[in-house]
Structure 1
Amino acid sequence: MIVQAPSRPPDVADLPFLLDGALVAQRFGVTVTRMRELMRRRMVQSRVEKGEGEDAGHWRITLRLGNRVWRGVFTDDGQLSDETSGLAGR
């Protein structure tokens, strides 16, 4: 089970690894330059969840751009172990 810490939700700065911008851009079908621009304009929303219990050592990152959502589960060393994508609200 992945749950959020009670004090404050974790964010990308809390990750023990760097999230690959090229991977994220590819998942949304845009260039790295375009993804950076979208992020700078705050058009990409993110949510980071740190695994606890049986999910300790894993991080779930959810990114939303418009009506598109991508979710990746990463290990502490930054390896992508699972991912899903689709439209928001579905």
Structure 2
Amino acid sequence: MDRSINLIYFAWVRERLGLDGERVSLGEDVETIGDVLTMLINRGGAYAEILSDVEKLRFALDQDYGTLASPIGAARELAIFPPVTGG
């Protein structure tokens, strides 16, 4: 069974990657947001540089906030973005 998820990048994550988003296939061993992040970091280059500092990132699965330990389950979308600040 082919498992895949839509990744959506926001703010400086989008700007630095040069992508609004992409669709990626998930291996059988990819079960959590952290696993997806590791998969992306292992691509190297800009992915490793931008996504390695998880303290500067937030995540949402199907528009619900998640953590690195959140299971992907049947989610269709994973958003990756910096913390939202107000003023």
Same fold (TM over 0.5): no
Greater Cα radius of gyration, structure 1 or 2: 1
Bigger relative contact order, structure 1 or 2 (CA pairs below 8 A, ≥6 apart): 2
Bigger helix fraction: 2
Bigger strand fraction: 1
